[in-house]
Amino acid sequence: SSELTQDPAVSVALGQTVRITCQGDSLRSYYPSWYQQRPGQAPVVVIYGKNHRPSGIPDRFSGSSSGNTTSLTITGAQTEDEADYYCSSRVSSGYSWVFGGGTKLTVL
């Protein structure tokens, strides 16, 4: 299967820790990546590979994986972290990609 499954919505209190999860068979073979998308903006990668953060992404973002499940953790969520988050990975057929359905994060 080339699908990735995410919870549609998650909420977190300001300053608390939240984990957003993603499941799919492709995650057993390929590293995931996570994207933050604020309203009206293009997505931005926040985590890729084995828990790598691109330059400029705060260190409160981290990733972990086990089996067919990957997680994005935000430690000490801030108001600016309120956004849609998408997981993605390559799939078995060469350089093809798949996205999860997205998780809307609300910071209370």
The residue ranges that bind other proteins (CB under 8 A) are 31, 33, 35, 37, 42-45, 48-49, 52, 54, 86, 88, 93-102
Q: Residue 15 or residue 58: which is nearer to other proteins going by CB?
A: 58
Cα distance between the two ends of the chain: 35
Smallest gap from residue 61 Cβ to other proteins (A): 13
* H or E, element range at 17: none
Helices (H) then strands (E): counts for the chain: 0, 10
Least distance to other proteins, CB of residue 64, Å? 16
6: its two tokens: 């995410």
**Smaller CB distance to other proteins: residue 49 or 58?**
49
Q: Which residue has the tokens 């080339």?
A: 2
